[in-house]
Amino acid sequence: EDQVTQSPEALRLQEGESSSLNCSYTVSGLRGLFWYRQDPGKGPEFLFTLYSAGEEKEKERLKATLTKKESFLHITAPKPEDSATYLCAVSRTGNQFYFGTGTSLTVIP
């Protein structure tokens, strides 16, 4: 059975304090791993797609990496506006996407 596990469930950082979020997965024939940002009461916003181990993607203060068993979302020098829930999802078939429960990030000024 395909599984996606995210850790930690919640993370509080001081502004400027870098850290990483983890997404571990068990899926055969991974087609893609996706990162999303979700603000309260809103739909998730797409951030990155990673397709193969060793791949990296960057966007502003965010950097996503992928290994054969997990992905990390690195946040460098976060700002309060980075506060959100970050979701990880995997796809095996290309038609079905399975999400983790997310990491709630709070960045304190």
Binding residues for other proteins (CB under 8 A): 4, 31-32, 34, 36, 41-46, 49, 87, 89, 91, 94-102
Could you tell me the smallest distance in angstroms from the CB atom of residue 21 to other proteins?
Answer: 14
| 24 vs 76 by CB, closer to other proteins | 24
CA distances, 109 to each of 15, 62, 79, 83 (Å): 5, 18, 7, 11
Could you tell me the smallest distance in angstroms from the CB atom of residue 108 to other proteins?
Answer: 21
- The encoded tokens of residue 79 equal 């700002």
| Cα–Cα distance for residue pair 22/102, rounded to 1 Å | 10
Closest to 70 in 3D by CA, of 36, 20, 16, 104: 20
| 40 vs 54 by CB, closer to other proteins | 40
Could you tell me the smallest distance in angstroms from the CB atom of residue 89 to other proteins?
Answer: 7
Closest to 39 in 3D by CA, of 6, 100, 90, 85: 85
| 78 vs 102 by CB, closer to other proteins | 102
The residues with which 41 forms a beta bridge, in sequence order, are none
Could you tell me the smallest distance in angstroms from the CB atom of residue 50 to other proteins?
Answer: 11
